[in-house]
Structure 1
Amino acid sequence: MKETVPKSVFNFLKKLEKNNNREWFNDNKSEFKALENEVKLVYQAVYNNLNKHDELDKLKLFRIYRDVRFSKNKAPYKTHFGGSFHRIKPRLRGGYYLHLQPNNESFIATGFWEPAKEDLHRIRKEFEMDDEEIRAILDNENFKSIWGGFVGDELKTAPRGFDKNHKSIDLIKRKQFIFTKKFTDKDVFDEDFIQVVDKAFQAIRPYFNYMSDVLTTDLNGMSTLKD
């Protein structure tokens, strides 16, 4: 039996968006908990599929409660479900994310959101030294048809210590190395949605293999992993 995303999940999230307050949520908490359990099954199915062709550490399903301490938006609840899938570090780098939200706002994302300072510098030095392999991955037709190109933050000019006229400056000035793929509500409710997600995640592997190699070696190609 295929695991699917129930339409009732999005129906609840739409109602929550209109009634984003503690009183309403507490009155409907039993319904939320039941739907949350169904959502967990969906994320677990994605996790199980990933583990057939990758090595994952854990699945993290994020809580519905918002941290409003430093936000102008004081709505106490998220109006989406989000979950991340972590690869086994330090040997394997990168991660996967699934975001479920009504009104055609669902998406998957993958890559490197906030690389550590040392990792960011190592990636940039690799691009500076040789951009042939990463461009071959990014220019692959199957890869582009699923993921398009990089999204995320970048500097307006070259980072300190790099030539602003370098042929790879478009890559070097990036601060994030993320890919996203959007889905309509109709896509999400399709019985093959989880398989479509898995196929997209499989397609990212050449990129992850490359970045894992970069981030576990020095510029001479010697492993930096401890035995």
Structure 2
Amino acid sequence: METAVILKFLKAIAKNNDREWFEKNKPKYLEAKLQFEDFLEELHKELVKFDESLGGLNPRKMGFRIYRDVRFSKDKRPYKVNMGAGFSPKGKMDQEPGYYIHLEPGNKSFIAGGIYMPDAEKLAKIRQEIDYNPKNLLGIMKRKSFKKYFDDLDDFDKLKTAPKGYPKDHEHIHLLQHKSFVVSHAFTDKQVIDKKFVKNLAAVCKEIMPLNTFLKEAIS
């Protein structure tokens, strides 16, 4: 498993994002894809040591396609400039908490966890759980081991006001305003190609797991 091969290909596709170049360099893509699948397999071995809910997955199939859906996008580049994968009990984090791995050169790699854009029913259940039992989530987020990697929940889609049904002066309004409940931690290119990267990545995921457990219980 060579993560350097993955980053090298992604640098190249970022500079040559067209079908003609891709077809000429298909062997390079296939090699990078193979290395990425090997990487996912190694990571999965570490994840199941503390998260048994992922045991039934085929890690080599958890990666997302490199082909972009450009039908409704102004950006018509045909290929992604990153390789990503999602691990959750049913597969690739579709409406359930899990772990998202994103490899992209230029020090843009990261690991994220939690639940991304849950539907209205699940979102309501999560907010209700925060309202009824805020200490559970706050306790997770205040741990020193958690703070080592995360400052707070990512606020990329946070409401500017209170969600319907909750007062603006709610004690935990800063949590209730979230529409996604996600944390993320970045890695440099140097860290990605380090031999200890998989172990380091798994260590971050281990700190995400209590958040995932809280969210799973909330939406169950």
Scaled by the length of structure 2, the TM-score of the pair is 0.90
Q: Distance in 1 between matches of 2:211 and 2:77?
A: 37
Q: Matches of 1:36 and 1:88 in 2, distance apart?
A: 22
Aligned to 1:197: 201
CA distance in 2, matches of 1:19, 1:212: 41
| Alignment correspondent of 1:38 | 35
Cα deviation, 1:147-205, whole Å, max 9, x if unaligned, reads: 22100311111111111111111111111100000000000010000000111111122
SS in structure 1 at match of 2:34: helix
Matched, 1:111 2:108: no
Instruction: Note the residue ranges of structure 2 that are not aligned, 5 or more in a row.
Output: none
Matched, 1:87 2:100: no
CA shift, 1:4, in A, is 4.3
CA RMSD after TM alignment: 1.5
The AA in structure 1 aligned to 2:70 is V
1:181-220 equivalences under 5 Å are 181-216=185-220
Q: Secondary structure at the match of 1:61?
A: coil
Please say if 1:17 is aligned against 2:20: no
Contact 2:115–2:215, Cα closer than 8 Å, also in 1: no
The answer to which of 56-65 and 152-161 deviates more is: 56-65
Residue matched to 2:160: 156
Structure 1 residue aligned with 2:132, among 110, 129, 132? 129
The structure with the largest alpha-carbon Rg is 1
CA contact (8 A) 2:5 2:35 kept: no
What is the one-letter code of the residue matched to 2:217?
D
Take 2:108 and 2:31, find their aligned partners in 1: how far apart are those partners?
A: 22
Distance 1:28 1:17 in 2: 13
Normalising by structure 1, report the TM-score: 0.88
Which deviations, in whole Å up to 9, do the C-alpha atoms of 1:77-122 show, x marking residues without a partner? Answer: 1111111111259xxx511111111110100110010112111111
- Equivalent position of 1:49 in the other structure: 46
CA distance in 2, matches of 1:27, 1:130: 56
For residues 65 and 215 of structure 2, what CA distance do their matches in structure 1 show? 30
Consecutive unaligned residues in structure 1, runs of 5 or more: 217-227
* Corresponding residue pairs, total: 210
Structure 1 residue 64, shift from structure 2 partner: 1.1
Q: Which runs of 4+ in 1 moved over 6 A?
A: none
Separation of aligned partners in 2, 1:166 and 1:40:
45
